[in-house]
Structure 1
Amino acid sequence: MEAKSSQDDYKQVKEDVQALRDDLAKLTRTVSDNQKHNVSSLRDEIRRESLEALDSVRQKGDEALRRARDAGDRTAHDVESRIEERPFLSIIVMFLAGVLVGKLFDR
């Protein structure tokens, strides 16, 4: 009787160990699947936020470029207007600037 009871206990322990192995394998698969899903979600979120940041930077760059072009156009128009108002003075100033730059390069 004692031997039968020991065999039954051994079988029960063996079944319990196998059940624990199965449960551990299921738990490992579940954790692995959840981690894969989390990584995928995180990657998608990072990609989306990166694209949003890139669009924002692009818009700000385009706006800065537009403002710089406008300022350059206004400056060029102002210079043209001043040259038209006083052409002789403009020629003298350009001549003197050329002489000054030439002297600087001679040294």
Structure 2
Amino acid sequence: MEAKSAQDDYNRVKEDLQALRDDLAKLTKAVADGQKSNISSLRDEIRRESREALDSVRKRGDEALHRARDAGTKAVHDVEHQIEERPFLSILIMFLAGILVGRLLDR
């Protein structure tokens, strides 16, 4: 009788160990799936924030380009206006600048 009781206890322990293995496998799978989900959501968030940062930088770059283009256009217009107002003085200044550049290049 004692042998049968010991055998029954052994079988119960064996079944309990198998149940623990199954539970551990399920837990491991659940944790892995949860981590995959977290990684996926983190990756999506990083992509979204990167896209927003790129859009912001692109917008600032476009605004700076427009400001620079407007400033350049205004500068060219101002120079044209100055030349139209004082053509003789403009020719004289360009002549002197040419002489100066020529002397610098001779050295």
Same fold (TM > 0.5): yes
C-alpha distance in 2, partners of 1:47/1:102? 57
Moved over 4 A (4+): none
Give yes or no for the alignment of 1:57 onto 2:57: yes
Residue pairs, 1:68-107, within 5 angstroms? 68-107=68-107
Partner of residue 35, structure 1: 35
RMSD between aligned residues: 0.6
Residue pairs, 1:1-12, within 5 angstroms? 1-12=1-12
Partner of residue 45, structure 2: 45
What is the TM-score when the length of structure 2 is the normalising length? 0.98
Question: How many aligned positions are there?
Answer: 107
Deviation, 1:105, is 1.1
C-alpha distance in 2, partners of 1:8/1:98? 111
Percent identity between the two aligned chains:
77
- 5+ residue gaps, structure 1, are none
Residue pairs, 1:15-34, within 5 angstroms? 15-34=15-34
Deviation, 1:106, is 1.1
C-alpha distance in 2, partners of 1:40/1:77? 55
